[in-house]
Amino acid sequence: MANVSGAARTGAPRRIAMLSVHTSPLDQPGGGDAGGMNVYTLELARQLAASNVEVEIFTRATSSDLPPSVEAAPGVTVRNVIAGPYESLTKDDLPSQLCAFTSGVLRAEANREPGWYDLVHSHYWLSGQVGWLATERWGVPLVHTMHTMAKVKNLALADGDRPEPHTREYGEEQVVAAAHRLIANTHDEAAQLTQLYGAEPEKIETIWPGVDLDVFTPGPQASARARLGLPEDAVVLLFAGRIQPLKAPDVLVRTAARLVAVDPSLRERLVVAIVGGPSGTGHERATDLHRLVGTLGLDDVVRVHPPVSQQQLAEWYRAADLTVVPSYSESFGLVAVESQACGTPVVGSAVGGLRTAIAHDRSGLLVTGHDPGAWSRAIIDLLDHPERFRQLRTGAVEHASRFGWDVTAARTLEVYAEAWQRHRADQLGMVSCS
């Protein structure tokens, strides 16, 4: 007798296959290919599991030491699929391994009772390609989250950065057409899906990513600085994230040079903390940032730290006066919300999802363009007006409180249920017409 799926019994999906091909949710965010998507995938899965939904996350094994599966949380299993050599592949190499990865995913389902998974949720276009095939084989709906899009990134390249290949653009178009539902992080992203990829508007649901409001909380700045070895009277500007041209840490370094040029006395107290590791094309230009710091004579001002845990990152946010997010493109900007949840305002680029993540003049400031002069003026204006700064700190916490993971998960469950019910109705309609 065929297995009756959890969805058929309850009217909503109860077993989800999540796909995250190019980066594991267990990897440390902030370096390599690990970033906000890692946090998103794992935290969403945890919240879904708390709602009695079983989640299995399939990702590519990057070490022979990894076990076939890991329990990431109660109800959440991460499955490490062998697809290609372990350590030597970059994200650009992975399309050649999608067949091997798909085989591993299908094999895992074949070892279950028929109808085991109710729905596939894929993250990033590589996973969408695998999800497209898996859902056709299993007869279940595909929900897809883009996270970033090649056409959007290519419209806002940093100077000297390499554009995303046309093969990725074509692959994304295929996934958009194949998905039963698309989850956009912001209304901007939803518009980009329709305008640049021809997505059907009725297939798109906008759901903000969340932030762990139990980890990212306000706390005494002086205590955080003491634990991190920062002077109590310092002016601390923080960049947190992957070091690559797209994220533009160089803009912060150039801004720091402008700040000390305008006010030389600031040099004694200014600390620019860059917490993260090289990623993407940043690997090809790994020494550029250090060279820029030396050229501008800021070796005594700029401190570069490797990626840290979420708990340690929260300490950096609390220690900072401002978090600076000068990205050329952001689908959302999780760093901005994490910082605000800790009570630290954000100065960010007026691009993409940052226009949602930051409430301009209430929780931080949005700056148009990447001219260091404009960025330095925005920062100086805040430093010169302590009362406005205090208001932004209060507004930052209030704004971030809207982005809890419980809300994200609840909205996502609604999309799952709608996708599953519509898909099942379509299948029944096809059967009745045959």
- Binding residues, as ranges, are 22, 28-29, 33-38, 91, 124, 148, 168, 242, 247, 308, 317-318, 320, 330, 338, 344
Q: Which residues are annotated as a binding site for UDP-N-acetyl-alpha-D-glucosamine?
A: 28-29, 36, 242, 247, 308, 330, 338
| Distance of alpha carbon 390 from alpha carbon 433, whole angstroms | 65
Q: Which residues are annotated as a binding site for Mg(2+)?
A: 317-318, 320, 344
Q: Hey, what's the torsion of the CAs at 273, 276, 280, 284, to 10 degrees?
A: 60
| Distance of alpha carbon 323 from alpha carbon 316, whole angstroms | 9
- Cβ-based neighbours of 7, under 8 Å, separated by 6 or more: 13, 14, 15, 118, 119, 420, 424
Q: What angle do CA 156, 286, 365 make, to 5 degrees?
A: 45
Structural contact between residues 129 and 144, judged by C-beta atoms closer than 8 angstroms: no
| Distance of alpha carbon 89 from alpha carbon 105, whole angstroms | 19
Write out the two tokens for 115: 């109808």
> What angle separates helix 372-383 from helix 386-400, to the nearest 10 degrees?
100
Structural contact between residues 377 and 370, judged by C-beta atoms closer than 8 angstroms: no
Q: Which residues are annotated as a binding site for 1D-myo-inositol 3-phosphate?
A: 22, 33-38, 91, 124, 148, 168
